[in-house]
């Protein structure tokens, strides 16, 4: 199967603390890079992961808190210095990000050589905000102190595989293969009609990744992310700070695991850790007590689906 890789560039919940960079991730889906959040230090982490800047054309910002977007202007400037010419698309809740960024771009990137296209999205509803031949990206409504949403990346199921033995046996020409993959049958030299189902094997199942950024615990998320291959859910606090989690509209590790369990996801990754926890295994153990297949996010972590 083609690539569907997640790279963790930062998993902290504040500015760099020495243990973690603040939040940013990159998905490599069939050699196209999609960034989720862009905190301070993100472009340095991109270089460390040896990810090609030129393949990054879409950035999804979950909300306008600094630990999720302070890295944007520096990265946009770097792209310009590197001679970028292709469009860059940035998606974020509402129109505030563009209003904030345009003056900065005008001042710091006066002769920028590429177009930046801002897309204002509604953080209160589920909607497809990006689609190409192989992928859809949908919003996941979250509840935080400012408008905030997560993102669901869902790979479209590829066409079925045509059977090599049937190609040879029936002498199927190259030009007919794509039509058969799309549902056509084949009539052989003797006039016998071979059904589509006889000529192909089942396609691989499309893969999926859900990113739930800063949010108070929302049980209804389980229906939105039902059955995904990998779920990232913020886990800023442990049970010892449940009251603080509610006050700041964040979640605990146990609450993240509850969402994963009820959604019947395959794997859970927790992150966005508060700097108060020097040993995040406390968070891991609390999550695993509810959902066993849980791992901690950490800088440099790569997960292939």
Distance (Å, whole) CA 293 – CA 305: 15
Catalytic residue list contains 67: yes
Helix segments in the chain, DSSP class H: 42-48, 66-69, 72-81, 96-108, 164-170, 174-181, 196-199, 221-224, 242-248, 253-263, 281-288
Catalytic member of 5, 37, 67, 229: 67
Task: Please enumerate, as own/partner, the contacts of 238-246 that have beta carbons within 8 Å and a separation of 24 or more.
Answer: 238/277, 238/282, 238/283, 238/286, 239/286, 241/274, 241/276, 245/216, 245/217, 246/216
**Helices 253-263 + 281-288 axis angle, to 10:** 30
Contact yes or no for 176/186 (Cβ under 8 A): yes
Question: How far is residue 177's CA from residue 232's CA, in Å, rounded to a whole number?
Answer: 39
151: nearest Cα among 220, 61, 23 = 61
CA dist., res. 165 & res. 167, Å (int): 5
Residues classed as catalytic: 67
């Amino acid at each position: 199967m083609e690539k569907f890789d997640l790279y963790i560039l930062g998993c902290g919940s504040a500015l760099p603390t020495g243990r973690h960079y603040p939040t940013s991730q990159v998905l490599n889906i069939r050699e196209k890079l999609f960034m989720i959040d862009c905190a301070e230090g993100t472009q340095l982490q991109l270089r460390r992961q040896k990810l090609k800047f030129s393949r990054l054309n879409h950035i999804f910002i979950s909300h306008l808190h600094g630990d999720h977007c302070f890295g944007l202007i520096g990265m946009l400037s770097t792209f310009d210095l590197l001679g970028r010419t292709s469009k860059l698309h940035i998606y974020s809740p509402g129109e505030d990000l563009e209003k904030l960024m345009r003056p900065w771009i005008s001042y710091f990137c006066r002769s920028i050589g590429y177009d930046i296209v801002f897309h204002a999205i509604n953080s209160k509803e589920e909607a497809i905000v990006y689609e190409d031949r192989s992928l859809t990206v949908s919003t996941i409504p979250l509840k935080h102190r400012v408008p905030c949403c997560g993102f669901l990346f869902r790979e479209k199921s590829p066409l079925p595989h045509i059977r090599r033995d049937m190609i040879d046996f029936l002498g199927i020409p190259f030009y007919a293969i794509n039509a058969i993959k799309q549902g056509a049958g084949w009539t052989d030299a003797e006039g016998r009609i071979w059904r589509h189902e006889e000529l192909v094997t089942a396609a691989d199942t499309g893969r999926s990744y859900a990113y739930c950024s800063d949010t108070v615990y929302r049980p209804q998320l389980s229906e939105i992310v039902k059955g995904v291959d990998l779920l990232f859910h913020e886990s800023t606090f442990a049970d010892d700070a449940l009251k603080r989690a509610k006050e700041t509209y964040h979640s605990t590790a146990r609450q993240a695991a509850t969402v994963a369990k009820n959604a019947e996801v395959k794997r859970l990754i927790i992150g966005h850790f508060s700097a108060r926890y020097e040993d995040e295994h406390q968070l891991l153990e609390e999550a695993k007590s509810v959902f066993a297949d849980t791992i901690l996010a950490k800088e440099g972590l790569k997960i292939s689906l």
